[in-house]
Amino acid sequence: MAENDANHDQHPTAELGTDRPLELGLDTFGDITVDADGRTLSPPEVIRNVVEEAVLADRLGLDFFGVGEHHREDFAVSSPEVVLAAIAGGTERIRLGSAVTVLSSDDPVRVFQRFATLDALSGGRAEVILGRGSFTESFPLFGYDLADYEELFTDKLDLFVRLLDEEPVTWSGATRPPLVDQTVQPPAAGGLRASVGVGGSPESVVRAARYGLPLVLAIIGGDPLRFAPFVDLYHRALEQYDRPRLPVGIHSPGHVADTDEAAREELWPHYREMHLRIGRERGWPPMTRHQFDQAAGPDGALYVGSPETVAAKIVRAVEGLDADRFDLKYSAGTLPHEAMMRSIDLYGTEVAPRVREQLARAVAA
């Protein structure tokens, strides 16, 4: 059995971000997109566009850029660290991380080494968000049994947390060979920042608190404030495990345009097709335009609209969930690169200042 326990010392990165102002970031899964003429782009074209999008985000002063890991034909990025390394060379200050790294079907030692290398290349800006992912293609691809879904993540997370201490590790578990007084190289530039991405499972929330890891909530449907009990559970679990307050982040999809109508009209056909494609695999009924408009409404999980509308929704979610970071998942199916670049520009130049101004006024009041 693993040699870690609930009282293991908190790794040094867990304290980062607890007292700083709200972070505003962006996430992408590197969705395969179309150009202005409707031509489907190749994965290499999409990956180069992701780098361009991240460079723009850095230039606009945003705080974080996350790239998801997938192993299927509708997403271009299977190795986020490689893409992030390319981004590191063209950016100066923005933090760079995964959204998420599928730890269950990877090796914790290799994950740490790759992100420590990214941390060196970026001057200490690397971050890894660990999760189980919402797709399962990586399991058969890398020879894992889906029947071991829960054990794989729990066991590998236990080892990864030990690696964050950057000390010789002695560890044994059920899913990989043991380590005996093993030092893992290279070390991170200043301690690797790590967090856990969850979809709302109480067990996952408590696990993050037990290991002293910040929490990122993936909120893709319903009223975001319905996640308030999970945030409360996380804070209570941190107290139980004698942990300090740790950051809570929100990851949600959205699209920004000049007006609410323009944003919805731009996103709808691409979001509909993405939902239909995934729905065929999972048995979902097709999404109606009414359902989409509801999700894009004031209480929905889609942050779609003008800068004023999106800023107001972010403030509502951040205040309601006591969050420390909000990441807009700005890519959605085949939504063209040009539309995403415009959305990023509006998010950085108009949404972010509005959010920070409204939160500052609330604090002052």
Distances (CA, A) of 318 to 184, 222, 231, 311: 37, 15, 11, 10
Tell me: pLDDT of 75 over 70.
yes
Q: For the residues 67-89, what does the mean pLDDT come to?
A: 98
pLDDT at res. 20: 52
- Where does the pLDDT of residue 5 fall: very low under 50, low under 70, confident under 90, or very high at 90 and above? very low
pLDDT at res. 133: 82
Q: Where are the domains of the chain?
A: 21-258+321-349
Q: For the residues 5-31, what does the mean pLDDT come to?
A: 63
Check: CB of residue 2 under 8 Å from CB of residue 172: yes
pLDDT at res. 341: 98
pLDDT at res. 1: 37
**Tally: H helices and E strands in the chain:** 12, 12
pLDDT at res. 183: 96
Tell me: pLDDT of 30 over 60.
yes
Q: For the residues 60-65, what does the mean pLDDT come to?
A: 98
Q: Token pair of 360, please? A: 């500052």
Tell me: pLDDT of 17 over 60.
no
**All residues at 6 or more sequence positions from 213 whose CB lies less than 8 Å from its CB, including other chains:** 14, 130, 161, 194, 195, 196, 246
Dump pLDDT digits (tens) for 269-320: 999 999 999 999 999 999 999 999 999 999 999 999 999 999 999 999 999 9
- Where does the pLDDT of residue 9 fall: very low under 50, low under 70, confident under 90, or very high at 90 and above? very low
- Where does the pLDDT of residue 6 fall: very low under 50, low under 70, confident under 90, or very high at 90 and above? very low
Can you list the alpha helix ranges (DSSP code H) found in the chain? 43-59, 80-89, 108-121, 138-141, 149-163, 202-210, 228-240, 260-282, 289-295, 307-321, 337-346, 352-364
Residue 213 φ/ψ, nearest 5 degrees: -110, 135
Q: Token pair of 87, please? A: 């981004």
Distances (CA, A) of 255 to 225, 278, 339: 20, 20, 9
Write out 204-238 in H/E/C secondary structure.
HHHHHHHCCCCEEEECCCCCHHHHHHHHHHHHHHH
Look at the domain 21-258+321-349 and name its fold: TIM Barrel (3.20.20)
Residue type, 92: E
